[in-house]
Amino acid sequence: MSLDASKVGTTTKAKIHDYDWREQAAYALGIGARRDELAYLYENFSGGMKVFPTYAVVPAFEHVVELIMATKANMAMVVHGAQKVRAHRPVPPRGKLETVGTLKGVYDLKKFAQLIIETKSSLGGEPLFDTEWSIIVRGAGGFGGDKPPSEETPKVPKDRAADFTVEQATSPEQALLYRISGDTNPLHADPEFAKAVGFEQGPILHGLCTYGFVARAVIHERAGGDATKLRMLSAQFRKPVWPGDTIVTQGWDLGNGVVALQALVKERPDPVVSNAWAEIEG
Domain spans in the chain, listed from the N-terminal domain onward? 5-280
pLDDT of 193 over the 80 cut: yes
CA distance linking residue 165 with residue 48, whole number of Å: 29
What is the mean pLDDT of the segment spanning 140-163?
90
CA distance linking residue 70 with residue 66, whole number of Å: 6
CA distance linking residue 213 with residue 167, whole number of Å: 10
Cβ contact 83:74 at 8 Å: no
Q: What percent of the chain has pLDDT over 70?
A: 100
Which residue in the list 17, 80, 188, 220 is annotated as catalytic? 188
Q: Please, is 251 exposed, middle or buried when counting C-beta atoms within 10 Å of its C-beta (0-12, 13-18, 19+)?
A: buried
CA 105 to each of CA 23, 134, 236: distance values in angstroms, whole numbers, following the listed order: 31, 10, 17
Query: What's the CATH number for 5-280?
Result: 3.10.129.10
pLDDT of 63 over the 80 cut: yes
Max distance between CA atoms of the chain, in angstroms, equals: 57
Which residue in the list 183, 206, 251, 280 is annotated as catalytic? 183
CA distance linking residue 84 with residue 184, whole number of Å: 20
Tell me the CB-side half-sphere exposure of residue 129, using CA atoms within 13 A.
Answer: 26
What is the mean pLDDT of the segment spanning 208-212?
98
CA 166 to each of CA 41, 163, 217, 218: distance values in angstroms, whole numbers, following the listed order: 21, 10, 6, 9
- H or E segment to which residue 63 belongs: helix 57-70
Is 207 considered catalytic here?
yes
Grade residue 1 by pLDDT with cuts at 50, 70 and 90. Answer: low
Is 255 considered catalytic here?
no
Which residue in the list 207, 245, 251, 280 is annotated as catalytic? 207
> Between residues 146 and 242, which one has the greater pLDDT?
242
Is 202 considered catalytic here?
no
**Residue 145: predicted pLDDT:** 87
Q: What percent of the chain has pLDDT over 90?
A: 87
pLDDT of 238 over the 70 cut: yes
Q: What is the pLDDT of residues 74-118, one digit of tens each?
A: 988 888 999 999 999 999 999 999 999 999 999 999 899 999 999
Which residue in the list 68, 135, 204, 247 is annotated as catalytic? 204
